[in-house]
Structure 1
Amino acid sequence: MAERLVTVFGGSGFVGRHLVRKLVEQGWRVRVAVRDAEGAKFLKPLGDLGQVSCVTANVTHQESIRRAVAGAEVVINLVGILYERGRRTFKAIHTDAAAAIARAAREAGASQFIQMSALGAAKDSPSAYARSKAEGEEQVRAAFPGATIFRPSVIFGTEDGFYNLFGAMARAFPVLPYFTTDAPALRKGANGLPEIDFYGRGGMKLQPVYVGDVTSAMVATLTDAGLRGKTYELGGPQVYSMREVLQQVSFETRRNRCVVPVPMIVAKIQALVLQFLPVPPLTPDMVRQMERDNVVTGTLPGLEAFGIVPEHTSAHLPAYLERFRPLHRQIRRMGNKHT
């Protein structure tokens, strides 16, 4: 299988580097198509000499895409953005570029195409991000009818941008806020008397899925024709509210931070300002996403279709959130002295 080629667009990102590693282990020759080929060379040692190559590709330029997919048996598109800047709009990247890559893959004679979308992708979503993902799926299927589409929930793992972000916040701030639409509020208590509910339902619901499970599912489609051509929703074994996610982070970082609810209107006001930062932590579109839960619907196949038992966050969070604990290096050194 060493001569079989797979092109991975966006292969230097969080999910991409895990996927490249799995593809290499399966004996594939991997061409990583990224904007900065030089910066992606850290992937080359994952394989044997020449097994991983990095090429410069701009997903908004058709000729660049054609060069990247030439000779590939499989093409995988992982490219996505969380906020818009200039010409890099959700439509340009999630819809138009996805369609262009799928079209080029078909014209190049690729036998398989995999598109990574997102859980919650829907053409009627209030979020432009989610709408563009749904439109991208539609365009990909039109360009490459046998495409396989994955819709993961929030993906966690050692280098993720989700739990690590909150770990950094726990280290820097005395409280961890979550945004909610139903708290604080006055509700009838168990005794029938009115009482203040400070927490509500705990903010939006999430179903974090392990990066290793996501990439294992993708790789499985390469060898099992029965798994191809479908849309999958990938979620982990447990649904969490944002409040529960932050409580996890508080515990694993040993920071004992107070997790507090903040009305959604505050998020909307903050987003109006923060959206102009070079890398905005919050935008109006992100706020609209937070107003809907991010869990599997149960109407589409998931990890069970691959025989994958999803990994729990507790199996991985302690290892990579440890670095946010107080004096963790000093504690480790002291422990070593006594062993």
Structure 2
Amino acid sequence: MRQVEPNKLITVFGGSGFIGRYVVQLLAQKGYRVRVAVRRPNLALYLKPLGDVGQIQLFQANIRDAVSCRAALEGADGVVNLVGILHEGGAQRFASVQAAGAGLIAKLAGEAGIQRFVHVSAIGADEESASEYARTKALGEEAVLKAVPTATILRPSIVFGPEDDFFNRFAAMARLSPVLPLIGGGTTRFQPIYVKDVASAILAALENEEARGKIYELGGPEVFSFKELMERMLEEIRRKRVLVTLPFGLAKLMGRVAGLLPNPPLTADQVELLKRDNVVSDEAREEERTLAALGVPATGLDSVLSTYLYRFRRTGQFERREA
């Protein structure tokens, strides 16, 4: 296995997001120079102390603008694309960000002769899906591999960690509401993966020639139903709440209304996603296209949740567990 030599330059698109901050820190720890391409560099200054002086560079770029993206790729030895959205708003549309945007970055990288390209997609990416999120994820993968055939695609299940948008969101809801919804009965299955494991997988994909041109599905060591995840979250924040089944039809109607809000708690498109399990496929396991195949040991949910969900307990970290 030939590795990309440390001190090489890696451009990370979307490096200021949840997964991005861990990717940037890990790359810096391994000796790479990191160029973080983001729309608003002034909001990503917290990344600078994650490396040595001058090791992490913030660069203004918009994936809808070829000129800024081409400049962000200049002199780069590798590229990581983390740009994605959970819901649409303003100029941020699924098609422009996850399909056209990913394709533009890959096209420019291909023209620059960059062979090391890691694109983070999602389990469930499918051109035939009823969810636009899933469809555009699949279109983005196709565009990336067309422009850079040596690119590596990573499809994680839901990602958890201190800044996640899953457990934090529902824990915040549980702090205010006596009831939590189980969309579709809460039977949808997930395989939560720790954010630091995703970052390690990205590093492995960059450095491992055997990963070139492959699509990996990433999941943690355990599979949970949506209901089990809610129960586990409530146990951790030490609150009792009623879990009420919300049929898909009603949930989709509520999602359409909530989708009009600036930061919707639920959208109709997300309801469509919940109709399919979000776990590593049998094909990926059989063909060794998993986290383990990249040499990354999976971190269990229980060892991490308590490190950040304690803040949702009634008295925070000082909350005592009842006998």
User: TM-score interval w.r.t. the shorter chain?
Assistant: over 0.9
Which residues in structure 2 correspond to 1:1-339 (within 5 Å)? 1=5, 3-180=7-184, 202-300=186-284, 301-328=289-316, 331=319
Alpha-carbon separation, structure 1, partners of 2:257 and 2:237: 29
Contact 1:73–1:109, Cα closer than 8 Å, also in 2:
no
Q: 1:307 to 1:3 in 2, by over 3 A?
A: closer
The alignment partner of 2:168 has SS state of helix
Contact 2:115–2:151, Cα closer than 8 Å, also in 1:
no
Q: CA deviation at 1:89?
A: 1.6
Alpha-carbon separation, structure 2, partners of 1:87 and 1:166: 27
Q: CA deviation at 1:7?
A: 0.3
Identity of aligned residues (%): 48
Contact 2:89–2:262, Cα closer than 8 Å, also in 1:
no
The alignment partner of 2:92 has SS state of coil
Alpha-carbon separation, structure 2, partners of 1:329 and 1:80: 33
Contact 2:310–2:317, Cα closer than 8 Å, also in 1:
no
Aligned to 1:194: none
Larger radius of gyration: 1
56-65 or 266-275, which deviates more: 266-275
RMSD: 1.4
Q: CA deviation at 1:330?
A: 5.3
Using the size of structure 2 for normalisation, the TM-score is 0.93
Structure 1 unaligned regions, length at least 5: 181-199, 333-339
Q: 1:329 to 1:293 in 2, by over 3 A?
A: closer
Alpha-carbon separation, structure 2, partners of 1:331 and 1:132: 43
Aligned to 1:197: none
Alpha-carbon separation, structure 1, partners of 2:194 and 2:13: 21
Alpha-carbon separation, structure 2, partners of 1:97 and 1:231: 19
Alpha-carbon separation, structure 1, partners of 2:125 and 2:220: 18
Alpha-carbon separation, structure 2, partners of 1:166 and 1:88: 24
Structure 2 unaligned regions, length at least 5: none
AA matched with 1:54: L
Alpha-carbon separation, structure 2, partners of 1:113 and 1:2: 16
Alpha-carbon separation, structure 1, partners of 2:173 and 2:261: 18
Using the size of structure 1 for normalisation, the TM-score is 0.89
Contact 1:236–1:311, Cα closer than 8 Å, also in 2:
yes
Alpha-carbon separation, structure 1, partners of 2:283 and 2:174: 36
AA matched with 1:208: P
AA matched with 2:68: S
Alpha-carbon separation, structure 2, partners of 1:2 and 1:114: 17
Contact 1:74–1:111, Cα closer than 8 Å, also in 2:
yes
Q: CA deviation at 1:329?
A: 5.1
The alignment partner of 1:55 has SS state of strand
Q: CA deviation at 1:2?
A: 5.3
AA matched with 1:242: F
Q: 1:232 to 1:330 in 2, by over 3 A?
A: closer
